Amino acid sequence: MENEKQLVNALQNGSEEAFKTLVAIYQENILNTCLGFVPNLQDAEDLAQEVFLTVYRSIGSFRGEAALSTWIYRLAITASLEAIRYRKRKKRIAFFQSLTNIEGSEASDVHSNFGHPGILLENQERARVLYQHIDKLPDNQRIAFTLHKVDGLSHKEICEIMDTSISAVESLLFRANRNLKKSLKIYYEKQMI
């Protein structure tokens, strides 16, 4: 962890080289985390950039109570959830505006431009449906599920990021899996009718 302390010190002293190193180390992981929540590559790239700008602006307040990676993951999750909430609010407003016949309002689905680069074209529809159902999970279940299944993090890493116990993470993952199976079963049964 000595290298991490040196990196944090250099960042806090305003080193551009340290910031480039930080981005090189975490860029792919943070982008994948954002893609797990907002599965549109352009939106996820924007969120990842926002996360690194937040790190740059607020590294002076980083106290080292958690690992640097944990702090950065928390920032990525927060930014992603805020983006989802913003889009949902925007969608509700657009819906209300359409009911009241206010022009220029189009509701946009968070997942309408689904574009996760790691998924082949023929699987995009299934993946879009899956992400829609993941998006309906309660926040803590969605965070744990995304960090585990999309980012491949261990239960220990997730409990550090979420600041909870391993048993709580296991419970969240169990409930997320159960809720996804239930909602996907209902969805696909309706599709067969």
Per-residue confidence (pLDDT) for residue 93, from 0 to 100: 61
Q: What b-and-e string marks burial along 69-89, b requiring 16 or more CB atoms within 10 Å of the CB?
A: bbbbbbbbbebbeebbeebee
Nearest to 38 by CA among 118, 177, 146, 138: 146
C-alpha span between 179 and 193 (Å, rounded): 22
C-alpha span between 149 and 108 (Å, rounded): 26
pLDDT in tens, 107-148: 444 454 555 555 555 567 777 788 888 889 998 999 999 889
- At the topology level, CATH places domain 136-193 in Arc Repressor Mutant, subunit A (1.10.10)
Class of domain 2-118: mainly alpha
Would you state the structure tokens that stand for residue 21, as one six-digit string? 């190193």
Mean pLDDT for 87-93 is 65
Nearest to 170 by CA among 160, 183, 181, 158: 158
Checking if the pLDDT of 160 tops 80, the result is: yes
Q: Model-level pTM greater than 0.75?
A: no
> For the chain, what's the residue count?
193
Domain definitions of the chain by residue range: 2-118, 136-193
